[in-house]
Structure 1
């Protein structure tokens, strides 16, 4: 971990961000809207200028933009972000239109066409939807358009209640095959504590999980406009970097340098190999329908030897899942060690648990989760 030092000598991670041909950039609500709601057109135009400049230099950019609900507050005469779901959805309906129009107008100054892409959980959880979203992004980028992505807050209750655009950006980065991910925030970098309270140390490079042991990332928001905090940004950076995508976390005010020299903020080095689209979907995007608890031997076989899960290594199961569903594989302490496509209904497993393959009837001698349908989580 490199702390409290200017990022003058560019690391390999920063070089990869600075030279990335295909880049996903995420910007939060607080960087686009005023404290009283409504879009801050000057800040939005400044961001668009930076993105358009990177495109003009040969880059392909996907912009994941928050701000729909916040942009709907002022037009609806709402003093603050509403807490009830119906009003949040109403604000999103008004604000999303304003946000899309603002981006179209601003990018038009650079003769750039934008394409709005609104995603729900189903678009990343359901395999068919995931592949369709991939094709849509590919075509937009091939036509030299700038996809502007947001959660479909008007109808997607899960996103409003539980989601955040930081995670969405990490998922989109892999979905489009991005070379790097840039998370723009109202905080200029990652700190080991809350910089607003003093005494926190700025971290410039994160090379692996060991560099984050002392980091305490809060999820509080100062202005009440956003839905994410540093915890969600850190989780998104870890998700992307573990799947082979370098990440830069920087302040929105430093967007120009972040998308050029990449010598600001905190750089997250790649910690895992790039996964195929299917394996990434299986490991990080698909919704898990239940859990299967493994004994120590099965955990070792699955995670270290990359073997299929057999009935003999199962301790018990939870939830009412069906064959073909994605399930989480957990150890004795309920730590998730892998995810995979289960080959049986939950109702079939009690009679199989703990029994070796040769003890089972012939029709039940197949794997519970085949190694080809299994992703080990780091």
Structure 2
């Protein structure tokens, strides 16, 4: 396979996040597959000894808890999922610890929920923890905290979690490892599907059909593709490959599908606003305001607001939508909902002095 600029970036990345899918670590009837986990730890350790910092985002907690609890399939109800995760997280952490102990490498477990990343203070705390673990030479094993996550507040799958962690930690590349060896233009199990080795932009994905997850996971190709595009949009090169090819993926990135990053990386704050934060409200804008904020990236002024929805406060993230209801941008609002309601449609000169700053400043705004 030709070594592209994207693959060279991944090969030379000083800091890397490696996401490992449930199907790469667990079997439905027997639980964790220690042999496969050891092979992955070998590849990760080799990359670390070559000079890279590695953070592992490991799925498999629920899958690891299915067999010990005597369950016959992945649970569908929330309570049983959380019970399986509580058993499986312990087994998973122990397995990673035992595997890396062969290299005298310390492991630290980091459990996150969507709420942790959506709140700026929690986001910063998680970032500091990951940074300190790396500086101490330990391997951070990150997983969604399924024992406390809910259906309403959760990442939904560890592919998106990995993309968020990669940006949060300031990583240079993201590698997604699972039971598929790359992105295809169709379902490879049905034949007549062709591997797409390089994705330079959205135009390379025209006609691609991505499916949902399998028996043990919640991801599937659709979530991997979404996570890869999220990370690439944030400025990170991404490699999607099979866990069985982990050694090659982490050595020279010569396998799988490589996703080229956008030329300029989003700032940590703008990435948080665009991808991580939960919007607590919605501002409906007129056509002129939409052109200003989504097109010209100007600050949002009160004169362009038509209506407000939801309860939000100064410092919250809100969606900015057109009058058809389509979200066109997101930003950090500078006023409470009640204050904005009184400002709707008014020019800056008609407002009291304390209300003449932008409703959403350009520095805190991202177009979608």
Q: Give TM-score, length-normalised by structure 1.
A: 0.93
What does residue 297 of structure 1 align with?
Answer: 288
- Partners of 1:160 and 1:363 lie apart in 2 by 36
| CA-to-aligned-CA distance 1:57-91 (integer Å, 9 cap, x gap) | 11110000000010001111111111111111111
| CA-to-aligned-CA distance 1:254-311 (integer Å, 9 cap, x gap) | 1111111101111100125212222221221111102112222212211332211011
- Alignment of 1:372 with 2:363, yes or no, is yes
- Alignment of 1:190 with 2:183, yes or no, is yes
> What secondary structure does 1:347 align onto?
helix
What does residue 321 of structure 2 align with?
Answer: 330
What does residue 110 of structure 1 align with?
Answer: 103
Conservation of the 8 A alpha-carbon contact between 2:242 and 2:256: yes
Pairwise CA distance, 1:346:
2.2
> What secondary structure does 2:343 align onto?
coil
* CA root-mean-square deviation: 1.6
Conservation of the 8 A alpha-carbon contact between 2:28 and 2:63: no
- Alignment of 1:264 with 2:255, yes or no, is yes
- Farther-moved stretch of structure 1 (163-172 vs 35-44): 35-44
Among 340, 346, 352, the alignment partner of 1:355 is 346
- Partners of 2:280 and 2:152 lie apart in 1 by 18
Question: 1:215-230 to 2 correspondence within 5 Å?
Answer: 215-221=208-214, 224-230=215-221
Question: 1:1-378 to 2 correspondence within 5 Å?
Answer: 8-158=1-151, 163-221=156-214, 224-377=215-368
> What secondary structure does 2:308 align onto?
strand
- Partners of 2:185 and 2:324 lie apart in 1 by 28
- Partners of 2:287 and 2:193 lie apart in 1 by 40
Conservation of the 8 A alpha-carbon contact between 1:153 and 1:159: no
- Partners of 1:219 and 1:177 lie apart in 2 by 29
- Farther-moved stretch of structure 1 (196-205 vs 132-141): 196-205
> What secondary structure does 1:367 align onto?
coil
> What secondary structure does 2:320 align onto?
strand
What does residue 5 of structure 1 align with?
Answer: none
> What secondary structure does 2:142 align onto?
strand
- Partners of 1:101 and 1:78 lie apart in 2 by 21
- Partners of 1:58 and 1:363 lie apart in 2 by 53
- Partners of 2:343 and 2:130 lie apart in 1 by 44
Conservation of the 8 A alpha-carbon contact between 1:120 and 1:159: no
| CA-to-aligned-CA distance 1:118-151 (integer Å, 9 cap, x gap) | 1112221111111111111111101111101001
- Partners of 1:312 and 1:209 lie apart in 2 by 35
Alignment CA distance shift 1:162-1:259 (3 Å): closer
Conservation of the 8 A alpha-carbon contact between 1:243 and 1:275: yes
What does residue 4 of structure 1 align with?
Answer: none
- Partners of 1:76 and 1:52 lie apart in 2 by 32
Conservation of the 8 A alpha-carbon contact between 2:113 and 2:154: no
